Amino acid sequence: MKKVVVVESPAKAKTINRYLGNEFEVLASYGHIRDLPSKNGSVQPDDQFSMIWEMDDRSKKHVADIARALKNADELYLATDPDREGEAISWHVQEVLRSQGSLVDHKVRRIVFHEITKNAIQQALKSPRDINQQLVDAYLARRALDYLVGFTLSPVLWRKLPGSKSAGRVQSVSLRLIVQRENEIEAFKTQEYWSLVSDMLNTKDQSYQARLTYLFGKKLDKMDIKNEDEAQQAAKAILERQYSIKSVEKKQVKRNPAPPFTTSTLQQEASRKLGFSASRTMQIAQKLYEGVPIAGELTGLISYMRTDSVFISDEAIKDIRQFVGDTYGNNYVPATVRQFKNKAKNAQEAHEAIRPTSVLRHPSEVSAYLDDSQLKLYELIWKRTVASQIESAVFNQVGVDIESTDKQIILRATGSTLAFDGYLKVYQEGVDDAVSDDEDGRLLPVINEGEAATVTAVNPNQHFTQPPPRYTEASLVKKMEELGIGRPSTYASILHVLQERDYVRLEKRQFIPEDRGRMVTSFLVNFFKRYVEYDFTAHLEEELDEISTGTRKWRDVLTEFWTAFKGNVDGTKELRITEVLDSLEKDMAFHLFHGDEEGARKCPQCSEGKLSLKLSRYGAFIGCSNYPECKYTRTVGGDGGDNVEMVQADEPKVIGIDPATKAQITLRKGPYGIYLQWDGEVDQAPPPLETSSKGKKKNPKSISQSVLLFQPVLI
């Protein structure tokens, strides 16, 4: 009888099918077949965190195809991806098939492989196992946590901070990083400082340059020379003296290659060197992993691309070292195999790093079968992997101290030369926010200790301190990894959601927080601080990892989290809008009012009122305290006179609550214009609400003001 193999994608199924015999039928689940419905009650804390799963019509069809194939089979191989999500997909498939009665006497086996090659798949078939329930439990805990945070915290945001769209366990913490960096940039005060570089001659009249390091016997710090007058005085002091070479220090320095790629480092490097977004990088890598047509056959070119391990298999290392020796020479092969250690918090070592499935597939040999983006990413992965097993680069570095005869001034000249290129022959890692400074890369002429040195000119250079740079996709992913926020499989989706929610925008490849994102962060930091702390989020990730290793029970972790979190949420029920506004104004004063001074909050229209933050159903705006006499408004961050529209009634909007009955007040648009509707029980109805008469259009803004007779939904 046939054996049925289930994988996630049809592309992966097609590739694997080529490596298996006729007794196997390979089918795709098309990703997750079940999910938690996007409604309240999908996770039930009062029932031991039981979950209600739902299948859409598309998934039902794919499951039906698998069930149909099982009628003529006696074995089911679950061959989904080798990570927590892959384990969960296999678990869902098994659970649904069992509940439908499709698994009777069938043997169910779980197999994993880290690359889609014939050898890897054949080896996986020889060592099947059961579904790892601990990995499934970790998935269930993560899914429940994300659901409970999103579906509990988001409604609080909607009620207390109109215009906000959602909150998330990892999403909100990542947003805080971007907002916090922007706050640092805005608070940064530029400082002037100067440096001095002297043009020098050695005894053979060969030129070089040296910078001032000691002035009047004192070692200079970066900010010690504060203005042009001090710089000119220092230049004058340098020119007045005679010099000789105090010391010449020569040494060899080794620079080691970077480890092979993890998910995050691949996203970072693809962003720096190729300009790819994190999501685009993962889409291309997925295709390279699942297989591309090469000489008429689907071939997987790289190992699994969701990993935080820098480990490479012994067999792959052996092939790489052989390739390096044959291609570049044995002097490029390290005496011992390079071993790398993970630096990221919460890294899991179970997988391999991202590497080519065969080092012999040089990018030039597969270029005809790949599009431009695929080739660029494959070449990046190939070069990084090969370079990681090449000998270190060696530099000859020279440092020269030049001292005045009265020992009051010391100048320093540095330079270096490349003695052996080593791994640089293949690859050099990119850097974030690099500052151009090639001083150490300059070549120095022959300089001997004790000989005379001549200063021919002094060049004072003005500098200004720079604020920290905004996060790019690369640097944000790097920071998230360092802090232990999220997992490799989630980085791309988190960055996408932040932009989709209009919390941040990507401008010149840098993240800039929108006003909405700033306010959400300010609100969460003030009223849910524990849940946007970096250490707390990282600790939750550690607990999820402990579940996956069997050292913690998933329901215990959820109970501990939910008890405290639900208490925090319940504590905000009495939170009044004035408290929210006060906290936002305090945190965002400089951004909101363009200055710290009291005068910055003076109304520019009536000159008497005070500007303050106000909230409408559609978000925040700045308004005058003398409303309605003074109707000055502007958008947050705007310069004024923006004529903020408080309500746009294209569909029913909840804008108030009847304080007596707690019934909702909704703003609606009918055939005769804008009107308010009370949505409570008929026998509790108050006097008729304001409505517009036939043929007479009502301004949504004025109607939104009349609802203040009731309790605003924000309170």
The yes-or-no verdict on residue 695 having pLDDT over 80 is: no
Q: What is the pLDDT of residue 708?
A: 38
Q: How does pLDDT run across 182-214, given as a tens digit for each residue?
A: 999 988 999 999 999 999 999 999 999 999 999
Whether the Cβ atoms of residue 13 and residue 35 lie closer than 8 Å to each other: no
pLDDT over 90 at 648, yes or no = no
Average pLDDT over residues 465-480: 94
Residue 623: CB atoms within 10 A of its CB come to: 22
Confidence at residue 574, expressed as pLDDT on a 0 to 100 scale: 84
Tell me how far apart the alpha carbons of residues 59 and 6 are, in angstroms, rounded to a whole number: 13
User: Beta strands 50-51 and 73-78: pairing type?
Assistant: unpaired
Q: How far is residue 124's CA from residue 110's CA, in Å, rounded to a whole number?
A: 9
Average of pLDDT values for 109-122?
92
pLDDT class for 140, splitting at 50, 70, 90?
very high
State the pLDDT confidence band at 592, using cuts at 50, 70 and 90.
Answer: confident
pLDDT tier for residue 657 given thresholds of 50, 70 and 90? low
Cβ neighbourhood burial of 312 (10 Å; 0-12, 13-18, 19+): buried
* Per-residue pLDDT tens digits for 55-114: 999 999 999 999 999 999 999 999 999 988 999 999 999 999 999 999 988 999 999 999
Q: Measured at the alpha carbon of residue 498, what is the angle toward residues 496 and 501, in degrees to the nearest 5? A: 105
Q: Check pLDDT > 80 for residue 689.
A: no
| Average pLDDT of span 405-414 | 97
Yes or no: domain 2-131 corresponds to CATH 3.40.50.140 = yes
Question: In whole angstroms, how far apart are CA 429 and each of 126, 383, 432, 661, 701?
Answer: 39, 10, 10, 64, 56
Computed over every residue of the chain, the mean pLDDT equals 87
Q: Is 332 a catalytic residue?
A: no
For tokens 């008429």, name the residue. Answer: 296
pLDDT in tens, 556-585: 999 999 999 999 999 888 888 888 888 998
The topology under which CATH files domain 263-387 is Topoisomerase I; domain 4 (1.10.290)
**DSSP summary character for residue 488:** T
CA 74, distance to chain mean position in Å, is 44
Q: How far apart are CA 288 and CA 292, in angstroms?
A: 6
Rounded to the nearest 10 degrees, the angle between the axes of helix 263-274 and helix 372-387 is 120
H or E element at residue 174: helix 171-187
In the chain, where the domains are located = 2-131, 140-187+472-570, 192-256+393-464, 263-387, 581-712
Based on its alpha-carbon atoms, the radius of gyration of the chain, rounded to whole angstroms, reads 33
> Which among 193, 208, 289, 304 is annotated as catalytic?
304
For the beta carbon of residue 131, count every other beta carbon within 10 angstroms: 18
**What's the rounded Cα separation, in Å, for the pair 290 and 74?**
27
pLDDT band of residue 437 (cuts 50, 70, 90) is very low
347-406 pLDDT tens trace: 454 578 999 999 999 999 999 999 999 999 999 999 999 999 999 999 999 999 999 999
pTM for this prediction: 0.80
Upstream peptide bond of 628 is cis (omega within 30 degrees of 0) = yes
Instruction: Say what the pLDDT of residue 36 is.
Output: 94
The CATH H-level superfamily of 192-256+393-464 is Topoisomerase I, domain 3 (2.70.20.10)
Q: Which CATH architecture has domain 140-187+472-570?
A: Orthogonal Bundle (1.10)
